[in-house]
Amino acid sequence: MVLIHMRKILKNIPLIKASRTAGPNRHRGVGICFLLLSLLGLCWFVLFPFADVVRRSFLSATGNHLTGLENYKVVVSNEAFRLAAGNTARFFLVCVPLLLVLSLGLAAMLHHIPRHTGVFKTLFLIPMAVPVASIVLLWRTLFNDQGLINGWIVGLGGSGISFMGSSTAFWVLVGSYIWKNLGYDVILWLAGLVGIPESQYDAAKVDGAGAVRIFWHITLPNLFPSLYTILVLSLINAFKVFREAYLVAGNYPHESIYLLQHLFNNWFRELSMDKLYAAAVIVSLAILVLILTLRGIFDNER
């Protein structure tokens, strides 16, 4: 009965009534109705608040008077912002290519042993299911000054390493990111590998092509459409590593892992809202330009 009443209500909606007589496009109105709530939610909870952030970035901290580009000048000249932006860019440049290469290599190997692929998929996805609190506990157990690794080093006659109090913290953070996201990217690469026709491999083998040539001339070109999605998702996941770094090292970690998220969190605690708004706009524009640039590159290569 409920479905019948819903059908009657939908028939009376103008967009849907018009779509019933619109020929080949008669279902367009129905699609618009289903998307409308999602679009309204996106505007209300994302676009409108961001537009307000852009507006406030040109105002003083109290919002009483217009400051123009002064907030942006203060942010760009701020040493903490430069440090955080440089560390974040360095983290992306190191982690994302390394993650893509490692995950692609593992996916290519797993593709040739289909009997055990399901088992490996489960094992690789376990790190994504582990709560952040458990990861933090693992970090502290392993990399603390009195942790397991230092205990092993001292037991072997070494002097121990301050993992979280030196530049080594950056590589600990890199390892954590790769460990947690490797399996996810492997699954995405495997989905792309499954879509490659086996006839192409058979034809290449008949022509005498080796494994390296097959990988470079058949596998990689066919995986190119998947690369954009995997690359963007890897960039997004790189922002989420802040949680582990923050819970382990606090508001002011070693300068090698002082990221933009640390800076934003500290400015929010200090109520430096003018700088926070301007920095948020700068970072958002940088990410938007990066994604659009990548999109343009991939569209041109198709």
Report d(CA 166, CA 150) in Å as an integer: 14
When the pLDDT of each residue in the chain is averaged and rounded to a whole number, the result is 79
Q: What average pLDDT does this structure show over 40-51? A: 85
Q: Is the pLDDT of residue 260 over 50?
A: yes
Residue 19 has what pLDDT? 46
What number of other Cβ atoms are within 10 A of residue 114's Cβ?
10
pLDDT tier, 247 (very low <50, low <70, confident <90, very high otherwise):
confident
Give how far Cα 55 sits from Cα of 30, 47, 289, Å: 36, 12, 20
Highest mean pLDDT among 90-99, 196-205, 220-229: 90-99
Q: What average pLDDT does this structure show over 258-282? A: 87
Q: Is the pLDDT of residue 114 over 70?
A: no
Residue 100 has what pLDDT? 92
Residue 118 has what pLDDT? 66
Q: Is the pLDDT of residue 193 over 50?
A: yes
In this structure, what token pair is assigned to residue 7?
């059908």
Q: What average pLDDT does this structure show over 165-187? A: 85
| Across 59-68, 77-86, 93-102, 191-200, least confident range | 59-68
pLDDT tier, 301 (very low <50, low <70, confident <90, very high otherwise):
low
Q: What average pLDDT does this structure show over 49-77? A: 84
Residue 29 has what pLDDT? 67
Report d(CA 279, CA 207) in Å as an integer: 56
Q: Is the pLDDT of residue 18 over 50?
A: no
Q: Is the pLDDT of residue 15 over 50?
A: no
Residue 293 has what pLDDT? 87
> For residues 204 and 122, is the Cβ–Cβ distance under 8 A?
no
Amino acid 215 reads F
Residue 125 has what pLDDT? 74
pLDDT tier, 10 (very low <50, low <70, confident <90, very high otherwise):
very low
Residue 5 has what pLDDT? 46
Residue with tokens 């001339």: 217
Kindly list the domain boundaries of the chain, sorted by start residue.
2-49, 70-301
Any idea which fold 70-301 has? MetI-like fold (1.10.3720)
Q: What average pLDDT does this structure show over 214-243? A: 83
| Across 150-159, 223-232, 253-262, least confident range | 150-159
Q: Is the pLDDT of residue 175 over 90?
A: no
- In three-state secondary structure terms, 66 is strand
Q: What average pLDDT does this structure show over 1-13? A: 45
Q: What is the DSSP string of 271-288?
A: T-HHHHHHHHHHHHHHHH
pLDDT tier, 13 (very low <50, low <70, confident <90, very high otherwise):
very low
Report d(CA 31, CA 258) in Å as an integer: 45
